[in-house]
């Protein structure tokens, strides 16, 4: 581990007024996205869509790094340039999702464990050799009757810490993503309780595995009401409870925080982040690592048609700019 390399990369990832673009949708997820606009889920259409994203004019004004799916990391653009090389050439750090997805947790109905540790050391060495600067691993925590269990939280946070230590061994900055799902009828207080328990466990495991926090980026969900809750919390309450929770559990020397949007609307995702960044006493950089909140409107405008490329890219850049403004409290 070269701590100076990790800090340099992490600082670039957290550079104001930028955020991290999540474009690492798994094969099933990108299939759903393309199906929503009646476009076949072919490798060529996935490539076309992702090229639309990375070639949007002035993207690097608002985006510091891009999380790629493995297919995209090794894929070439229309002119033969590798996506990862193109991103680096325009000043956007290329990163890669390295987990193998959330699978059923044995003997724990309706709970998940993220897999992918087998062979990870060798994969990480190859990713670093091929230009990756950071990686991402997502854990999934569900709130419902009598869950999450301690087994679900502890096993997922242990896996996140083991992944993070392996990343740093290879001079890759780990993004650790403990997502408390927005799905459900739970209250914001229920979410607060589960998020606190998850973050407490996460940072305990990170310490256990000697993970270097100044070279680590946290990608949490916000403390928020369930999507099906009839009386959802206000923007101000979400921002206030989220920051209070983070201050209680995230050490000040953590490189930064880049929120996932996690099913929020575009307006919710940008408004919550904007209010948080109007606070003057945040101990770490607080920005975004959004997927849908940047891409969804552009995807709908594209419809898989080349003649819609420029208008779709304009929408994407508008969304990226609004998220960028939110990351410095100037929306």
Is 19:69 a contact under the CB 8 Å cutoff?
Answer: no
Is 260:22 a contact under the CB 8 Å cutoff?
Answer: yes
Instruction: Give the Cα separation of 159 and 174 in Å (integer).
Output: 12
Q: How many residues does the chain have?
A: 331
Active site residues: 177, 219
The structure tokens listed for 15 are: 């550079």
Strand 102-104 versus strand 112-114 pairing type: antiparallel
Instruction: Give the Cα separation of 103 and 178 in Å (integer).
Output: 15
Is 253:292 a contact under the CB 8 Å cutoff?
Answer: no
Residue 178: phi and psi, rounded to 5, are -95, 90
Instruction: Give the Cα separation of 69 and 21 in Å (integer).
Output: 12
**Cis bond upstream, residue 77 (ω within 30):** no
Instruction: Give the Cα separation of 43 and 33 in Å (integer).
Output: 14
195: Cα within 13 Å, side-chain hemisphere? 32
Is 152:108 a contact under the CB 8 Å cutoff?
Answer: yes
DSSP state of 243: H
Instruction: Give the Cα separation of 140 and 178 in Å (integer).
Output: 6
Instruction: Give the Cα separation of 35 and 262 in Å (integer).
Output: 20
Neighbour order of strands in the sheet with 286-288: 19-23, 63-68, 93-97, 134-141, 173-180, 217-218, 256-259, 286-288
**Cis bond upstream, residue 148 (ω within 30):** yes
């Amino acid at each position: 581990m070269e701590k100076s390399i990790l800090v340099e990369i992490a600082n670039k990832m957290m550079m104001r007024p930028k955020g991290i673009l999540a474009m690492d949708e798994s094969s099933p997820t990108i299939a759903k996205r393309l199906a929503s606009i009646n476009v076949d889920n072919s490798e060529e259409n996935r490539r076309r869509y992702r090229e639309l994203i990375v070639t949007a004019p002035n993207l690097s004004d608002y985006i510091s790094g891009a999380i790629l799916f493995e297919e995209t990391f090794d894929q070439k653009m229309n002119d033969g340039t590798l996506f990862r090389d193109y991103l680096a050439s325009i000043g956007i750090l290329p990163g890669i999702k390295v987990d193998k997805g959330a699978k059923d947790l044995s003997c724990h109905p309706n709970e998940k464990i993220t897999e992918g540790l087998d062979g990870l050391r060798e994969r990480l060495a190859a990713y670093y050799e091929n230009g990756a600067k950071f990686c991402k691993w997502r854990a999934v925590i569900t709130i419902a009757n009598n869950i999450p269990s301690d087994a679900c939280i502890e096993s997922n946070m242990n896996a996140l810490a083991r992944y993070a230590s392996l990343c740093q061994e290879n001079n890759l900055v780990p993004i650790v993503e403990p997502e408390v799902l927005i799905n459900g009828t739970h209250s914001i207080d229920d979410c607060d309780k589960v998020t606190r328990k998850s973050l407490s466990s996460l940072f305990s495991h990170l310490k256990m595995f000697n993970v270097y926090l100044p070279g680590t980026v946290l990608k949490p969900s916000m403390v928020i009401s369930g999507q099906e809750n009839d009386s959802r919390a206000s923007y101000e309450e979400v921002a206030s409870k989220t920051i209070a929770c983070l201050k209680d559990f995230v050490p000040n020397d953590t490189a930064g925080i880049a929120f996932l949007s996690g099913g929020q609307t575009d307006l919710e995702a940008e408004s919550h982040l904007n209010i948080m960044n109007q606070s003057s006493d945040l101990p770490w950089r607080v920005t975004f690592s959004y997927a849908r909140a940047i891409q969804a409107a552009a995807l709908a405008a594209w419809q898989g048609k080349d003649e819609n490329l420029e208008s779709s890219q304009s929408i994407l850049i508008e969304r990226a700019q609004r998220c960028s403004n939110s990351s410095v409290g100037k929306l």
